[in-house]
Amino acid sequence: MIICETPDAGKNMPELPEVETVVRGLRPTLTGRQIVSVRLGKTDFIDDPAALEAQLPGCRIADVARVGKFIELRLSSANDGGKQVSLFVHLGMTGRLLSQLSEEPEAKHTHVVLSLDDGRELRYTDARRFGRFALVLENDRLAFQSKLGAEPLEISVEQFSALVKPRRAMTKALLLDQRMLRGIGNIYADEALWRARIHPKRLASKLTEKEIARLLRSIQRVLAEAIRLRGSSISDFVDSAGEPGEFQLKHRVYGREGKGCFRCGTRIQRVIVVGRSSHFCPKCQTWRGTRKRA
DNA sequence: CGTTGAACCTGTTTGC
DNA sequence: TGCAAACAGGTTCAAC
């Protein structure tokens, strides 16, 4: 069996575990800070750039949380009697949110800089600008979140089953659908399906109760383990405390086309499902049926 | 209801 | 060697 591989290190695909890692890194340094000023570069990924410039200065950061793949900065404005707003940040593919000293050099493609009251700056960098900034008033907060499905680590198997059964889409499509579960992306979808031994193209409505339970367990284990290992190769996400994620070393199928399955040695195949690369073991991950092969 | 493909972007990898 | 095409995937939207 393969001992050591050097999978795509250096890539950073922010799915739930990576975003959670960023949030945990930022929370201690950001909580309680006040935003002094806002500087914007390109703004085509920001819902309402003028609103950021108008409303953020003076706001205090009450908390940093994760909602699916979004980072949520909970803010209370200094004026306006402490009015609550949330700044939702989506990292897209290449987004980075970093807390740095203002004298540190700015990375290329830095498009949002929030200067804070402690001499630091919260900087957003995103080469491809697939990310998103949305300032959401407290009144609209639940509506914003309700466009997203359940947190995968919080949903029960009964709830999950009720969501899955009526759907005729391919199982992988379901996992990528943020309105079902929020936070799963291409890597962790493939990893969870491999662990659950379910073919990515399998129709969700045809999954057995057992498979549904296995799928949820696989999703939760993969995500939990990835969080524990600080995500897949995220590096220096926040000042000196940041350590590279290590989960990419645990990938079982993602990026392993042509290599041996970790369970049975069969060559991993890659197919396109709902427009995305999908890696799976043609032997372990059965199209239909109930085989058990180890 | 569902799928497909394109669009949005740019850095990196691959292929000729 | 150099350049161009392919690729990377999160999200949204139009078309079927």
Per-position DSSP letters for A108-157, written without gaps between them: TTEEEEEEETTSEEEEEEESS---EEEEEEHHHHHHHHHTS-B-TTT--H
Q: What is the pTM of this model?
A: 0.91
Instruction: Give the per-residue pLDDT at A80.
Output: 72
Residue A29 CA, distance from chain mean position: 21
Q: What are the tokens at A257? A: 């086309």
* Catalytic annotation present for A108: no
Cα torsion angle, A40, A45, A46, A48, sign: positive
Instruction: Give the per-residue pLDDT at A233.
Output: 56
Report the alpha-carbon distance of residue A86 to residue A158 in Å, rounded.
Answer: 31
* Catalytic annotation present for A252: no
3-class secondary-structure state, position A73: strand
Write phi, then psi, for A255 (nearest 5 degrees).
70, 15
Per-residue CB contacts under 7 A with strand B, chain A residues 9-68:
44
Q: Give the number of other CB atoms < 10 A from CB of residue A43.
A: 16
CA of A8 to C1' of B1 (A): 37
For each of chain A's 294 residues, which pLDDT tens digit applies? 333 333 343 456 799 999 999 999 999 999 999 999 999 999 999 999 999 999 999 999 999 999 999 999 999 998 777 899 999 999 999 999 999 999 999 999 999 999 999 999 999 999 999 999 999 999 999 999 999 999 999 999 999 999 999 999 999 999 999 999 999 999 999 999 999 999 999 999 999 999 999 999 999 999 999 999 877 654 444 444 445 677 766 789 998 999 999 999 999 999 999 999 999 999 999 876 444 433
Q: What are the tokens at A137? A: 């008033």
CA of A61 to C1' of C3 (A): 48
**Single-letter residue type at A259:** K
Q: Which of A24, A276, A282, A283 is catalytic?
A: A276
* Catalytic annotation present for A276: yes
Instruction: Give the per-residue pLDDT at A229.
Output: 87
Write out which nucleotides of chain B lie closer than 7 A to a protein Cβ: 1-6, 8-11
- Mode of pairing for the β-strands spanning A120-126 and A110-116: antiparallel
Instruction: Give the per-residue pLDDT at A240.
Output: 40
What residue ranges in chain A does DSSP mark as E strands?
35-40, 60-67, 70-76, 84-90, 95-101, 110-116, 120-126, 132-137, 269-273, 276-280
Write phi, then psi, for A225 (nearest 5 degrees).
-70, -40
> Could you say which DSSP state residue A248 is in?
G
Report the alpha-carbon distance of residue A76 to residue A209 in Å, rounded.
Answer: 45
Contact by Cβ (8 Å): A181, A219: yes
Is any atom of nucleic acid chain B found less than 7 Å from the CB of residue A274?
yes
Long-range pairs, A276-282, Cβ under 8 A, ≥24:
A276/A172, A276/A176, A276/A186, A277/A186, A278/A172, A278/A186, A278/A189, A278/A190, A278/A200, A279/A190, A279/A194, A279/A253, A279/A254, A279/A255, A280/A190, A280/A193, A280/A194, A280/A199, A280/A200, A280/A253, A281/A194, A281/A253
* Catalytic annotation present for A166: no
